[in-house]
Amino acid sequence: MMDTSKLAFPKGRPRALDKAVRRKALEAFDTRESAKVKVRSGGRCEVFELPPTGSVVARCPHRATEVHHMIGGWGKRARGMSVEADCKQHVCHKHHTEITGHVLTLRSASVHPRWDDYYVRAR
């Protein structure tokens, strides 16, 4: 067995520890951004919906209970822009289910979705 006490360099830090530190920092940032979303909404669902018969966009009157990441997909949520408050919405359970079930479709004016974009019902 080799005596490692005389080596010129110490043993490196395990990658698993570095990964855990990065994950914890990302989760803390995600939590802070979600808190901003909850303050912005005032506890009310932020879904703006265009009714099929009308031309006026209306905001949902229900109490918001969940934070929705508007940029989704494998490896997308909680990374990059999807963690930022502008790409999250505070929504009620009904609308969150409809959005993730593709009953509501986002009509975005820009390339990246924002919380104040509106939805239309899929046909």
Structural domain includes residue 5: no
State the burial class of residue 45 (Cβ atoms within 10 Å of its Cβ: 0-12, 13-18, 19+): buried
Model confidence, pTM: 0.75
Residue 84, token pair as written in the block? 């930022």
Domain extent at residue 52: 15-121
Per the domain annotation, does 6 fall within a domain? Answer: no
Bridge partner list, 69: 88
* Amino acid occupying residue 71: I
Give the number of other Cβ atoms within 10 Å of residue 115's Cβ: 19
Q: What tens digit of pLDDT does each residue of 49-107 get?
A: 877 776 778 889 999 999 998 887 655 555 667 788 888 899 999 999 998 888 888 87
CA pair distance 45, 65, nearest whole angstrom: 8
Residue 1 tokens read as 């067995």
Predicted pLDDT of residue 65: 96
Residue 10 vs residues 5, 21, 57: alpha-carbon distances, Å:
9, 21, 63
Q: Residues 22-52: pLDDT tens digits?
A: 889 988 998 999 999 999 999 999 998 877 7
Number of domains in the chain: 1
Tell me, what's the pLDDT at 91? 94
